[in-house]
Structure 1
Amino acid sequence: MNWIFILAVALGGAIGSVMRYLVGIGAGRAFGTDFPWGTLIINITGSFVMGVFAGLFAVRWNLPQAARIFLTVGICGGYTTFSTFSLDTFYLIERGELAATAAYMAGSALLSVGALVAAMHLVRGMG
């Protein structure tokens, strides 16, 4: 077990979790809480940032493994919210909001993957 990697995850996770909390609160204030806007925004932006990091690791940054783990598993892992996505989806279904459920599920999956692909192409185009 590599304690440096564990520390990298823990520190990055703390940062990502605080960022997630702040974005979630901000989205709730900006857009209301009837729809899980915060989680949707976090999943999309988290996927985009993950794509930027992965792209930079591939073409520009030669970082030590601990730094890569800090950024991806730590910060991005603490920030992104697919476990919360599942809970939000459940609550939408439970409330009988099937159209909102479908929009939320499709938007989260398609836009997050699209954001990652866009980031990878953006970063690869820089090299």
Structure 2
Amino acid sequence: MSAPTGRPPHRSPGLLLGVLLGGAVGTALRWAAGRALPHAEGGWPWGTLLVNAVGALLLGALLEALLRAGPDVGRRRAVRVVVGSGLLGGLTTTSALALETVRLSGAGSPGLAVAYATTTLVVGVAAAAAGVALAARWPRGRRS
């Protein structure tokens, strides 16, 4: 599934298929989280906040671990593109964050909308930093 070293990932049919499948799985997981944690109209969207925080944590850890493992080639590039862009890109959702912020504002809760958007951004950055810190503590593995 990896692209040759000199070939850009977006020109590799195998990587594109991997991103498509990873994105489908991530999107299904995001949908399931939204169903498991529904919110009332005008209420705090916990499901979206959760998937964005978990996705940021995992992406931070993934990218740090891959960086520590060696150059962005071969299997490492495939994992970065398929898991990072595909799976975690499908799991996290900027569009739902924007939509829910607008809905909160439109439901007469502009303060809650600002609080939700700000909380999501702060939690996301903190989660990504935590993921990086966790991965930085893992012992370096074999280079492949």
Question: 3-state SS of the aligned residue for 2:127?
Answer: helix
Matched letter for residue 113 of structure 1: V
Sequence identity, in percent? 28
Matched, 1:21 2:31: yes
Name whichever structure is richer in helix by fraction. Answer: 1
Whole-Å separation in 2 of the counterparts to 1:83 and 1:35: 16
Q: Does 1:10 align with 2:20?
A: yes
Q: TM-score, normalised by structure 2?
A: 0.80
Once residues 114 and 7 of structure 1 are traced to their aligned partners in structure 2, the CA distance between those partners, rounded to angstroms, is 31
Which residue of the partner structure matches residue 115 of structure 2?
A: 103
Match of 2:80 in 1: 68
Could you say which residue in structure 2 is the equivalent of 1:55? Answer: 64
Structure 1 CA distance for aligned equivalents of residues 76 and 127 of structure 2: 26
The answer as to whether partners of 1:4 and 1:66 remain within 8 angstroms in 2 is: no
| Residue number among 110, 120, 123 corresponding to 2:132 in the alignment | 120
Give the whole-Å Cα distance in 2 for the aligned partners of 1:68 and 1:126. Answer: 18
Larger radius of gyration: 2
Unaligned runs of 5+ in 2: 1-10, 140-144
Matched with 1:83 is: 95
Using the size of structure 1 for normalisation, the TM-score is 0.89
Higher relative contact order, chain-length normalized (CA < 8 Å, sep 6+)? 1
Query: C-alpha displacement at 1:95, in angstroms?
Result: 1.2
Alignment: residue pair count: 124
- Cα RMSD (Å): 1.6
